[in-house]
Amino acid sequence: MRPKTLVPLLLISVLAVPLLATGQNRPRTTAESIRGHFASVNKRLLDMAKDFPEDKYDYKLKPEMRTFAEVLVHVASGNVYAAKAGRGEQVNWDELDPKNYKTKADVVALMEKSIADSEATLKSLPDESFSKRIEPWIGVTEHSAEHYGLLVAYYRANGLVPPESRPKPGK
């Protein structure tokens, strides 16, 4: 091949690769990002709720802190708030009473329902709505992520490894 032909072909190849890849590696939209982060933190918390030993659900890091179960009920309260506020309801963040969720199964069921309800509301919103308003989703996601970090400490204090920190099969 002649140099005069090779240089333009190389130049076209170098320029074309990023253009072709753009469709595959585009940045996530605000709506995709919010939905993804909300789902991710809730999945990790639900995994913990299902995994943590039931006999340790009343464990507290310090006497003045919430128990493991109470933290999860508190997080579920945030999801309930997000579902209602996301639908446009005038609502306050009302705490669910942990005394109404006596067993691990009760807490897990509450988490599953609060996640399903809030994600259904989140998915029902048109993508364009996130260019105008990202609350309550960003605030509730941040709140849940903070409590995820706290519950990691509950795991570690009990000599346990959180599900997300365990080696993954095949890796």
Beta-carbon contacts of residue 84 (< 8 Å; ≥ 6 apart):
91
Q: What is the pLDDT of residue 59?
A: 98
**What one-character DSSP code corresponds to residue 57?**
T
Q: Which fold has domain 55-160?
A: Four Helix Bundle (Hemerythrin (Met), subunit A) (1.20.120)
Residue-wise pLDDT for 89-133, tens only, equals 999 888 999 999 999 999 999 999 999 999 999 999 999 999 999
Q: What is the pLDDT of residue 4?
A: 58
Beta-carbon contacts of residue 77 (< 8 Å; ≥ 6 apart):
93, 94, 95, 96, 114
What's the helix, strand, coil split of the chain in %, to 5?
Answer: 70, 0, 30
Task: Specify the pTM.
Answer: 0.83
Average pLDDT of the chain is 89
Which position has the higher pLDDT, 11 or 95? 95
Q: Are 141 and 41 in contact (CB under 8 A)?
A: yes
